[in-house]
Amino acid sequence: MVLEGFRDPQLAKKISDKIHEYAKEIDEDLLFMHVCGSHEWTISHHGVRSLLPENVEIRSGPGCPVCITPADDIDTAVQLAQEGKSILAYGDMSRSKGSKGLSVLDTRPSGGDVRIVYSIHDAVITARKEPEKEFVFFAVGFDTTAPPTAYEILQGLPPNLSLILSYRYMPPLVGSVLKSSVLGIDGIINPGHSSTVTGMKPYYPDFLETRKPEVFCGFEPIDVLLGILMLMRQLKEGKPKLENEYTRSVTWEGNVAAQSSLDKVFDLAEGYVRGVALIPQSGFALKEKYRNLDAYEKYGLKKKGTNEQFIPGARCGEVILGLCEPTECPLYMKECTPQTPKGPTMISLEGTCKIWAEHRVITSIKSSKK
Amino acid sequence: MCLAFPGRVVEVKGDFAKIDFGGGTTKDQINISHVSAKEGDYVLIHAGYAIQVLDLEEAENMLRYWQTNVSWKCERCEIVDECSMGAIVKDINFKNKASFKVK
């Protein structure tokens, strides 16, 4: 299958050699960022960082939907579970802790009904099987995950199913990463599957404003290496572009059918990135006619807003934003391990800390290169 | 959540399809309502829903290009102003998808 070519070690070596060549010519420290847990997994698993020159760093930014889900929403799910509603959630979402150190799964010993599902489809099937029970689906994800939920809403959700919505729209999130003077990145690898849905088009206005190199990348190791090479080529030539490496999937217009479903069901609203910031226009909210499907509306709940986003001493917020590496958190692989996670970045399958821990990264990659 | 896997469409039944993920794994009831897929197409699937039909010819061309010429430069950018491969910094309409055609 042609996709196996995207794991060709000889091609990887060729691209890596070219990256080293450009790095010598550019002769500056370069910081690139990606915003997808799946990209971090590919980078860590295939050792992409070990192929990069000393002055080129690729860092994980806010790309983990479970990590960025506000503590408020987790607290609401916990409250509903304690009140006897059945909560349907992804495995890692069910273990992520809210502001009081409680996860949805923690309600089980005292009778909370929490069931692990893999998709909105599972949630619909489950709710239909038990019409006398009230179910709440923890709807977490990015642009890739929202269209199936839009589809199911258009088909008609069972009356005993409502949603805690924490979907995020990526283009404004990427825009705020590009504009952040605190991060000061030199280029960005844009998410490949969420942009398969949105297309490249919504990224164009922020690109014109910031003029920083951007490449949409696939998820095989060759895809990521090519993406880094393309970013460096843009810098070397002094021609920043909104470039596409993932041409087999990402297009300018994106998946128009999926966008149409989204437009019928959702409006864009503020989206809070846990412990980081409120990003305008980056959250999905249900349109007026579907608002009764929102669990907050259905059960008359309000968002409380809390400053207690992580346990004291933990640097989860900085890891989420990409301000620091997991190894720079004092709890990483000491109190906080995959077996005893203390924050969402160690709980979530797409959390940077979890991915690094699973790949046995104990010391900083930057310091190990020197 | 960007996790998505490629699979081949074995059979289409309205909004749903049977997909072959390779290695002996097939799954029924994959929702293909958001893509235009036919039997034999490869699609990208995220949590039971197809999000895109993969352009494997494009993938093959691209790999071949990079394998033979790592200092690739998109020739289309020199021929036309419209390119979804690299947006030059000016106001342009993107109509055609550029692709790596190996000469």
B41 belongs to a structural domain: yes
Alpha-carbon gap, residue A75 to B40, rounded angstroms:
46
Q: What is the bridge-based pairing of β-strands A114-116 and A86-89? A: parallel
CB of A52 within 8 A of CB of A28?
no
Name the pLDDT band for B90 (thresholds 50, 70, 90): very low
Q: What is the pLDDT of residue A368?
A: 55
CB of A126 within 8 A of CB of A117?
yes
B17 belongs to a structural domain: yes
Alpha-carbon gap, residue A314 to A363, rounded angstroms:
17
Q: What is the enclosing helix (H) or strand (E) of A80?
A: helix A71-82
CB of B9 within 8 A of CB of B39?
yes
Residues of B with CB under 8 A from a CB of A: 1-4, 6, 22, 31, 33-36, 44, 46-49, 51-52, 54-56, 58-60, 62-63, 66-67, 70-71, 84-89, 94, 97, 99-100
Domain count, chain B: 1
Q: Is the same domain home to A70 and A58? A: no
Task: Please report the number of interchain residue pairs, chain A to chain B, with beta-carbon separation below 8 angstroms.
Answer: 149
pLDDT over threshold 90, residue B23? no
Within the 292-321 window of chain A, which residues sit less than 8 Å (CB to CB) from chain B? none
| Helix/strand/coil for A336 | strand
- The burial class, CB within 10 Å (0-12 / 13-18 / 19+), for A1 is exposed
Q: From A19, which residue of chain B is nearest by alpha-carbon distance? A: B70
Q: Is the same domain home to A52 and A105? A: no
B31 belongs to a structural domain: yes
Within the 163-192 window of chain A, which residues sit less than 8 Å (CB to CB) from chain B? 191-192
Q: Is the same domain home to A144 and A197? A: no
Look up residue A342 and give its two tokens: 């203390």
| Helix/strand/coil for A205 | helix
B86–A204 C-beta distance less than 8 A: no
Alpha-carbon gap, residue A12 to A80, rounded angstroms:
50
Interface test with B, best of A166, A247, A250 (most B CBs within 10 A): A247
Interface test with B, best of A118, A196, A252, A259 (most B CBs within 10 A): A252
CB of A145 within 8 A of CB of A65?
yes
Task: State CA B66 to chain mean position distance.
Answer: 17
The 10s digit of each residue's pLDDT in A218-247 is: 999 999 999 999 999 999 999 899 999 999
Rounded to a whole number, what is the distance in Å from the CA of A222 to chain B's nearest CA? 9
For residues A115, A116, A119, A123, the Cα torsion angle rounded to the nearest 10 degrees is -10
A210 CB within 8 Å of a chain B CB: no
A19 belongs to a structural domain: yes
B47–A243 C-beta distance less than 8 A: no
A33 belongs to a structural domain: yes
Domain count, chain A: 3
Overall average pLDDT of the B65-77 stretch:
55
Q: Which residue has the higher pLDDT, A276 or B46?
A: B46
B87 belongs to a structural domain: no
B76 belongs to a structural domain: no
Of A118, A192, A255, the CB nearest to B2: A192
Q: Is the same domain home to A164 and A186? A: no
Rounded to 5 degrees, φ, ψ at A47 are: 65, 35
A180-206 as b/e: b if 16+ CB within 10 A: beebebbbbbbbbbbbbbbbbbbbbeb
Q: From B63, which residue of chain A is nearest by alpha-carbon distance? A: A5
- Residues of chain A with C-beta less than 8 angstroms from the C-beta of B58: 247-248
A163 belongs to a structural domain: yes
A365 belongs to a structural domain: yes
Q: Is the same domain home to A347 and A272? A: no
Alpha-carbon gap, residue B93 to A338, rounded angstroms:
48
Of A1, A18, A258, the CB nearest to B51: A258
Q: What is the pLDDT of residue A276?
A: 81
A356 belongs to a structural domain: yes
Of B47, B55, B94, the CB nearest to A252: B94
Overall average pLDDT of the B32-56 stretch:
94
Rounded to 5 degrees, φ, ψ at A14 are: -60, -45
Q: Is the pTM of this model over 0.95?
A: no
CB of A74 within 8 A of CB of A348?
no
Q: Is the same domain home to A73 and A58? A: no
The 10s digit of each residue's pLDDT in B27-37 is: 999 999 999 99
Q: Is the same domain home to A289 and A142? A: yes
Rounded to a whole number, what is the distance in Å from the CA of B39 to chain A's nearest CA? 17
Q: At what angle do helices A120-129 and A146-155 cross, to 10 degrees?
A: 30
A16 belongs to a structural domain: yes
Q: What is the DSSP secondary-structure string of B21-81?
A: EETTEEEEEEE-TTS---TT-EEEEETTEEEEE--HHHHHHHHHHHHH-TT---THHHH-S
Q: Is the same domain home to A97 and A147? A: yes
Cβ within 8 Å of residue A161, ≥6 positions away: A123, A124, A127, A135, A136, A137, A293
A244–B84 C-beta distance less than 8 A: yes
Q: Is the same domain home to A94 and A240? A: no
Q: Is the same domain home to A17 and A115? A: no
A249 belongs to a structural domain: no
Q: Which residue stretches of chain A have pLDDT < 70?
A: 1, 306-308, 365-370
| Helix/strand/coil for A49 | helix
Q: How far is CA A100 from CA A36, A96, A120, in A?
A: 27, 11, 27
Q: Is the same domain home to A271 and A149? A: yes
Q: How far is CA A267 from CA A26, A146, A155, A284, B74, in A?
A: 43, 12, 18, 6, 38
- Residues of chain B with C-beta less than 8 angstroms from the C-beta of A37: 1-2
Domain span at residue A138?
A: 66-169+254-298
pLDDT over threshold 50, residue B84? no
Q: What is the CATH number of the domain that holds B43?
A: 2.30.30.140
Look up residue A122 and give its two tokens: 């599972």
Alpha-carbon gap, residue A37 to A355, rounded angstroms:
8
Cβ within 8 Å of residue A346, ≥6 positions away: A332, A336, A337, A338, A353, A354, A357
Alpha-carbon gap, residue A326 to B15, rounded angstroms:
43
Q: From B56, which residue of chain A is nearest by alpha-carbon distance? A: A248
Q: Is the same domain home to A109 and A154? A: yes
B100 belongs to a structural domain: no
B11 belongs to a structural domain: yes
B68 belongs to a structural domain: no
Q: What is the CATH number of the domain that holds A214?
A: 3.40.50.11750
Q: How far is CA B9 from CA A6, A164, B14, B19, B22, in A?
A: 21, 33, 13, 5, 11
B1–A141 C-beta distance less than 8 A: yes
Among A244, A268, A289, where does a domain finish? A244
Domain span at residue B37?
A: 5-53
